[in-house]
Chains A and B, each alone.
Chain A
Amino acid sequence: MTAIISVSNLSKTYASGFKALKSIDLEIRRGEIFALLGPNGAGKTTLISIICGLVNPSSGTVLADGHDISRDYRAARSAIGLVPQELTTDAFETVWSTVSFSRGLFGKARNPAHIEQVLRDLSLWDKRDTEIRRLSGGMKRRVLIAKALSHEPRILFLDEPTAGVDVELRQDMWRMVRKLREDGVTIILTTHYIEEAEEMADRVGVISKGEIILVEEKSELMRKLGRKQLTLALQEQLSAIPEALAAFDLSLAANGSELIYSYDTKAERTGITALLQALAEAGIRFRDLQTSQSSLEDIFVSLVRSRS
């Protein structure tokens, strides 16, 4: 079994009548880092909340680590750690006591050594006796992460972990996430930032308006990203691509006044020199040229647009 979470046919209609999730199917693989990408209101938090038991699904099933999240909720939830999007912490408890509390809540026997390790990893050890209300926002987020890790979950949900977090903490966090994955923890994170997904994830899922519209290996996405376009503005319009240039991946645009060549930047030879030579031999002259790269952002935006 490679899927650690399988979501099938999951729908959620809120009491207001709003349909936040529309028949979602999704499999998260054991040990991967999965980035769930989507605009505001897409349903990321709703999906996570259902898997973690905070929101009741309207229909559909979810298995976490092989356990049905409602019938076998104890086993399912024991495996899951959640860092919520909002900074919701106690105020008067100390860092140490709130993190220890979480471990107990999840049914684990006391283990001060583990709590210490978690606090050290998150640079919270010096703050262990500080009341949470005296911490900065970024530190509170670390506390939430520490609480989620206190009970040694096999699955970790990070709902927008880097919102309102400075560069340093972000890097700390990614270091920690990578380390967790090395230990075999499956990590699902949501983000608005494509660079984040690009940097961290093994696979990327895009959600929009309550539907998963794309799930792909990041490397596959990057391959698509690796493609570049060379646009040549021609001096004279062409009605068709000349026979002599058939070997190149070319297309005409702007009524034949533009010639577009697609190539792979990662290939050993991009073929640009050969193309330019062939163009000269065919007597095709151009006024201007320009190259462009489709980013994950472009793919994302066009995916979201095409659905609306």
Chain B
Amino acid sequence: MSQRSTGMGLINWHAIVAIYRFEMARTWRTPMQSILSPVISTSLYFVVFGAAIGSRMQSIDGVPYGAFIVPGLIMLSLLTQSIANASFAIYFPKFTGTIYELLSAPVAWWEAVAAYVGAAATKSIILGLIILATATLFVPLRIEHPVFMLLFLVLTATTFSLFGFIIGIWADGFEKLQVVPLLIVTPLAFLGGSFYSIEMLPPFWRVVTLFNPVVYLISGFRWSFYGVADVGVAVSLGMTMVFLAACIGAVAWIFRTGYRLKN
């Protein structure tokens, strides 16, 4: 009865839409930073690794090196941009104090998460597709499993936006906001097989690499392009889901306890 008296139903859709729109509008206000700069940096990777170095590299698993690195590069941007978008989206209102309004609104935690994470993931998916389009200018591409490609794109963007959201809540200063992406995520992403097949590593490092969750994302994503993978696609998908579930669990815990959001 109380739910009905608010005229809101079980889900506060208006709030989800309002937050989502607000966040998307923020992106279009800074198109240079949001879209152009990742596109430029990815293009540089293509020039350096694809054209300059790639011309001297053998093809890997029958895929020319320039094309081989495309899925890895997209994943790299997807990871870093998802984290950056989502962590900033929730950190900034905390920092300026405008979060008071969200805390005082009739919004369930999962509605807020859905809206913020949804917006952050949308942005990085759009970005991933733009980079994909950019890549076709440099190398011939084929996508064998487009549905799986989109699935990996969406799952990864969602998972890492959630992860970024958690960082944004945990961070109580700009330094902490930077430190996790810089010290943990970027190394993991670079060592996750963006630029090489883990088959190329010595056996010991190959085993170590298997503890890097990013390996599974890149491997699965690359499989959706070329049908070849370092690890089985089912394992890749499974690991992505596990990480997604872990992030959802952590966010739920944060909001249940009011951790770092309320005194």
- Does A67 belong to the interface (CB within 8 Å)? yes
A residues 63-99 in Cβ contact with B at 8 Å: 67, 72-78, 80, 82, 84, 86, 88-93, 97
A residues 226-259 in Cβ contact with B at 8 Å: none
Bound together, the chains give a CA A54 to CA B12 distance in angstroms of 19
Interchain pairs with CB closer than 8 A, number = 96
> For residue A67, which residue of chain B has the nearest CB?
B2
- Does B103 belong to the interface (CB within 8 Å)? yes
Beyond A75-B3, A75-B6, whether A107 also contacts B106 by CB under 8 A is yes
Classify chain A's interface size.
35 or more
- Residues on A lying within 8 angstroms of B by beta carbon are 14-15, 49, 52-56, 67, 72-78, 80, 82, 84, 86, 88-93, 97, 100-109, 147
Beyond A86-B97, A97-B25, A101-B18, whether A54 also contacts B262 by CB under 8 A is yes
- Main secondary structure on B side of the interface with A: helix
The 8 closest A-B pairs by CB, nearest first: A104-B18, A88-B97, A75-B2, A107-B8, A74-B106, A77-B106, A52-B104, A78-B6
19 additional A-B pairs beyond A15-B263, A54-B262, A147-B101, beta carbons within 8 Å, are A75-B5, A76-B106, A78-B106, A90-B96, A90-B98, A92-B26, A101-B21, A103-B18, A104-B15, A104-B18, A104-B21, A105-B18, A105-B105, A107-B6, A107-B12, A107-B105, A107-B107, A108-B7, A108-B14
Beyond A55-B262, A80-B104, A97-B25, whether A109 also contacts B6 by CB under 8 A is no
Q: Is the CB of B29 within 8 A of A92?
A: yes
A-B contact pairs, 11 of them (CB 8 A): A74-B12, A74-B106, A78-B6, A86-B97, A88-B100, A100-B18, A105-B14, A106-B14, A106-B105, A107-B12, A107-B106
Which residues of chain B have C-beta atoms less than 8 A from A92's C-beta? 26, 29
Which residues of chain A have C-beta atoms less than 8 A from B40's C-beta? none
> For residue A147, which residue of chain B has the nearest CB?
B101
- Does B211 belong to the interface (CB within 8 Å)? no
B254 CB to nearest chain A CB (Å): 14
Q: Is the CB of A74 within 8 A of B8?
A: yes
Q: Is the CB of B15 within 8 A of A84?
A: no
Beyond A74-B106, A89-B98, A92-B29, whether A105 also contacts B2 by CB under 8 A is no
Q: Is the CB of B263 within 8 A of A105?
A: no
Which residues of chain B have C-beta atoms less than 8 A from A100's C-beta? 18
Bound together, the chains give a CA A240 to CA B200 distance in angstroms of 110
Which residues of chain B have C-beta atoms less than 8 A from A14's C-beta? 263
Which residues of chain A have C-beta atoms less than 8 A from B258's C-beta? 56
Beyond A74-B106, A107-B14, A107-B15, whether A88 also contacts B8 by CB under 8 A is no
- Does B19 belong to the interface (CB within 8 Å)? yes
B68 CB to nearest chain A CB (Å): 41
Which residues of chain A have C-beta atoms less than 8 A from B103's C-beta? 52-54
- Does B110 belong to the interface (CB within 8 Å)? no
